[in-house]
Amino acid sequence: MSREFESVEEIFGSNVFNEATMREKLPNNVYKTFKKTISQGQFLDSSLADVVANAMKDWAIEKGATHFCHWFQPMTGFTAEKHDSFISPTTDGRTIMEFSGKELVKGEPDASSFPSGGLRATFEARGYTAWDCTSPVFIKEDGTNITLYIPSAFCSYNAEALDKKTPLLRSMDALNKQTMRVLKAMGNTTTKSVGATLGSEQEYFLVDQSFAERRLDLILAGRTLFGAPSPRGQEMDDHYFGSLHERVASFMHDVNVELWKLGVSAKTQHNEVSPGQYELAPVFATVNVATDHNQLVMETLQKIALRCGFVCLLHEKPFAGVNGSGKHNNWSMSTDDGINLLDPGSTPHENMVFLVMLGAVIKAVDKNAKLLRATVANAGNEHRLGANEAPPAIVSMFLGDELTNILEQIATGKAKSSNSGGELKLGVSALPPLPKDSTDRNRTSPFAFTGNKFEFRMVGSTQSTAGPMFVINTIVADALMEIADELEKSSNLEAAVEKILKKIVNDHSKVIFNGDNYSEDWVKEATKRGLPNIRSTVASLRTILDKENYELFERHKVLTPAELGARTEVLLEAYAMIINIEAKTTLNIAQRQILPVGVEYSGMLANAVNGLATAGVGADTQKKLLNDVCKLVDSLKNGIENLKIGLSKANSIDNSAEKAENYRDVIIPAMDGVRLAADGLEVIVDAEMWPLPTYAEMLFVR
């Protein structure tokens, strides 16, 4: 635990080879050229790379590092790393510490153990990692091991993307290109580039380690597969924003310090809705760096939790009956000269740019609602989306009444609120002032405008933010491309913008919904509006393969058809694999821990009944209880057999979508059957005998 007295300023970024460090450690001319290379997204030439690598090595060694690794994000959504040491033997039997530009820029891990969705045959196991120099290298301390981390992209021998980062970087280029076209067409002469920004709020649970260690389901599946509800749940609303428990507060302090060193500013932290649930929000960064940061946040939470005697659960639904965890992705676009394009401005012209950007997002989200839904489709999130928990599986947008009103006025050409009562013209004073710092909030919307950014709330807590983000970047780039095509043709900017916005509002305002997304009425209303409501993960993943998505990603050079197909394959396989692990864990716990207790307890009761009969005393209550226990033991045993049969057939299916469907339709219900009987036993069996820590213990003991 780091408790040494250091100021936040001293700690912050101390383990990052950031701009300040680069300026200090690199010769001035190298620093300048290097910065230019990064900002223009070019390749580092080899002599420059050698100088940079050498400075990095010296800096890392000063900090105690002995190894370096290319840190990449395979399609599993987790991170991977291959460590090499700086140590290089000399002919006289000693060693020197070496690190070349080549080693910095490129790595060659054995790729065969990562999913490729069929892109790379195992015999061509070669994969390459390439330094993503837009994300700074950093040092990580794990125990006594200190390593230089190089954020990298990962691709096959044929340069096909095998990771989450490559499409994200490509989508940033696409967004930059199309947004710049629109800005230029609207008269902007100063902006040189546009990037997407992301602030990713992470929800998680903390469970005392002594409980978590006794639950094979938490160890192997990250969620409870058994457990009767706690007599007390989240109904008191006393946990949300409540004061932090001391042990948790210490944990958060240690997490902050660790993250600050890595240049991740953990800004807010508080209790969430469910008991045992918490949230961490960092300060936003460019979407690429923020995606790396979120991976570090997830790793750090888990690492520090163990140090503090907790286990951190990142799963979307670790406990039935209380809220699950998500990851709210706050997304916006900002220019190199510091303009947040989703921030309403103070001049009519700025407002016009804002409305065009807003229009592009509305169009993008409505047109690609199914694709957006698919970016958050995984086995864990299936327990949240549309399964009686927020947010629903329907993609809709919250804009707030004021903005919605203004868009309606634009569509009808009538300014309701303007005193002239005449035509509403953009860019002139008749346009009502746009709401700045909109105060209305809607906590139930899956895609909410929050004043100067959008908050995509459907993302699951375990997910890499790269997937949802590269899709948002791409669909918005696509909408902006069509807008740019129009604007570049037109000779009257205001008239063209008005026409574009009118069309967007008319065609796409069905996706705007400012009401309560959790209500049953909304589900009906959304059906009437023709909005998709896809609850099943597999059904949602299947929609990725629609023809228009292949075209979309190819048009913007984000994914080739082969890459898109491979990615979908990996996601379907992952769904089946996760349920398979859950099912096998269910069997293990049911057969080896719960059934024996049921048998033992019924034996005890039977002895009691016999004993009482011998003593000539009535044993009605004992008999009734024995009867109840035996019924549950029977149904537990039947459930186990049923699940076994299901599992023995499940893996013989070849087609990955059909296999995943079988897991959904056969295996999940079979697991539910086992759990129902087991949870029934839990509430009547002697607490002393029950083998698993209970929901009440895990959720409430701190």
Binding site for ligand ADP (CB under 6 A): 197-199, 201, 281-284, 330-332, 340, 450, 452-453
Min CB(203)–Mg ion separation in Å: 9
Residue of the chain from 57, 120, 164, 328 that contacts Mg ion (CB under 5 A)? 328
For the chain, the C-alpha Rg in angstroms (whole number) is 28
C-alpha 293/C-alpha 509 separation (Å) is: 34
C-alpha 86/C-alpha 644 separation (Å) is: 50
Min CB(357)–ligand ADP separation in Å: 12
C-alpha 310/C-alpha 247 separation (Å) is: 9
Quick one: three-class SS letters along 362-377? HHHHHHCHHHHHHCCC
Task: From the list ligand ADP, Mg ion, none, pick the one residue 198 interacts with, judged by a Cβ distance below 5 to 8 Å according to partner type.
Answer: ligand ADP
Task: From the list Mg ion, ligand ADP, none, pick the one residue 281 interacts with, judged by a Cβ distance below 5 to 8 Å according to partner type.
Answer: ligand ADP
Q: Which is nearer to Mg ion, 343 or 455 (CB)?
A: 455
C-alpha 86/C-alpha 65 separation (Å) is: 9
Q: Which is nearer to ligand ADP, 281 or 481 (CB)?
A: 281
Q: Which is nearer to Mg ion, 160 or 201 (CB)?
A: 201
C-alpha 479/C-alpha 79 separation (Å) is: 32
Tell me how many helices (H) and strands (E) the chain has. Answer: 24, 17
C-alpha 201/C-alpha 330 separation (Å) is: 8
Stretch that binds Mg ion, among 68-76, 120-128, 197-205, 659-667 (CB under 5 A): 197-205
Q: Which is nearer to ligand ADP, 163 or 279 (CB)?
A: 279
Which residues are 385's β-sheet partners?
A: 389
Task: From the list ligand ADP, Mg ion, none, pick the one residue 662 interacts with, judged by a Cβ distance below 5 to 8 Å according to partner type.
Answer: none
Min CB(442)–ligand ADP separation in Å: 12
Q: Which is nearer to ligand ADP, 332 or 585 (CB)?
A: 332
C-alpha 135/C-alpha 286 separation (Å) is: 9
User: How many other C-beta atoms can be found within 10 angstroms of the C-beta atom of residue 208?
Assistant: 18
CA 633, 639, 645, 650 dihedral sign is negative
Q: Which is nearer to ligand ADP, 15 or 197 (CB)?
A: 197
C-alpha 460/C-alpha 45 separation (Å) is: 39
> Between helices 165-185 and 466-489, what is the axis angle to 10°?
20
C-alpha 624/C-alpha 662 separation (Å) is: 39
Stretch that binds Mg ion, among 194-202, 292-300, 512-520, 527-535 (CB under 5 A): 194-202
At residue 423, the 3 state secondary structure works out as strand
Task: From the list ligand ADP, Mg ion, none, pick the one residue 453 interacts with, judged by a Cβ distance below 5 to 8 Å according to partner type.
Answer: ligand ADP
Min CB(287)–Mg ion separation in Å: 17
Min CB(201)–Mg ion separation in Å: 5
Task: From the list ligand ADP, Mg ion, none, pick the one residue 410 interacts with, judged by a Cβ distance below 5 to 8 Å according to partner type.
Answer: none
Alpha-carbon separation of residue 199 from 263, 350, 390 (angstroms): 14, 24, 20
Min CB(197)–ligand ADP separation in Å: 4
Task: From the list Mg ion, ligand ADP, none, pick the one residue 549 interacts with, judged by a Cβ distance below 5 to 8 Å according to partner type.
Answer: none
C-alpha 185/C-alpha 360 separation (Å) is: 15
Q: Which is nearer to ligand ADP, 294 or 656 (CB)?
A: 294
C-alpha 584/C-alpha 575 separation (Å) is: 14
Min CB(282)–ligand ADP separation in Å: 6
Q: Which is nearer to ligand ADP, 49 or 480 (CB)?
A: 480
Beta-sheet pairing, 285-286 with 127-131: unpaired
Q: Which is nearer to ligand ADP, 271 or 656 (CB)?
A: 271
Min CB(284)–ligand ADP separation in Å: 3
Q: What is the dihedral of CA 311, 312, 317, 319, to 10 degrees?
A: 40
Check if the beta carbon of residue 370 is closer than 8 Å to that of residue 475.
no
At residue 280, the 3 state secondary structure works out as strand
Q: Which is nearer to ligand ADP, 17 or 284 (CB)?
A: 284
Binding status of residue 675 toward Mg ion by CB under 5 A: no
Q: Which of residues 201-240 bind Mg ion (CB under 5 A)?
A: 201
Q: Which is nearer to ligand ADP, 169 or 281 (CB)?
A: 281
Min CB(391)–Mg ion separation in Å: 11
Min CB(514)–ligand ADP separation in Å: 17
The residue number with the shortest CB distance to ligand ADP is 199
Q: Which is nearer to ligand ADP, 117 or 199 (CB)?
A: 199
Name residue, tokens 């009519």: 348
Min CB(456)–Mg ion separation in Å: 10
Give rounded-to-5 percent helix, strand, coil for the chain: 50, 15, 35
x-marked contacts with Mg ion along 103-142 as a string, rule CB under 5 A: ----------------------------------------
Min CB(600)–ligand ADP separation in Å: 50
The residue number with the shortest CB distance to Mg ion is 328
Fill in the DSSP letter of residue 459. Answer: -
Task: From the list ligand ADP, Mg ion, none, pick the one residue 53 interacts with, judged by a Cβ distance below 5 to 8 Å according to partner type.
Answer: none
Nearest by Cα to 281 from 294, 295, 267, 292: 267
Q: Which residues bind Mg ion (CB under 5 A)?
A: 201, 328
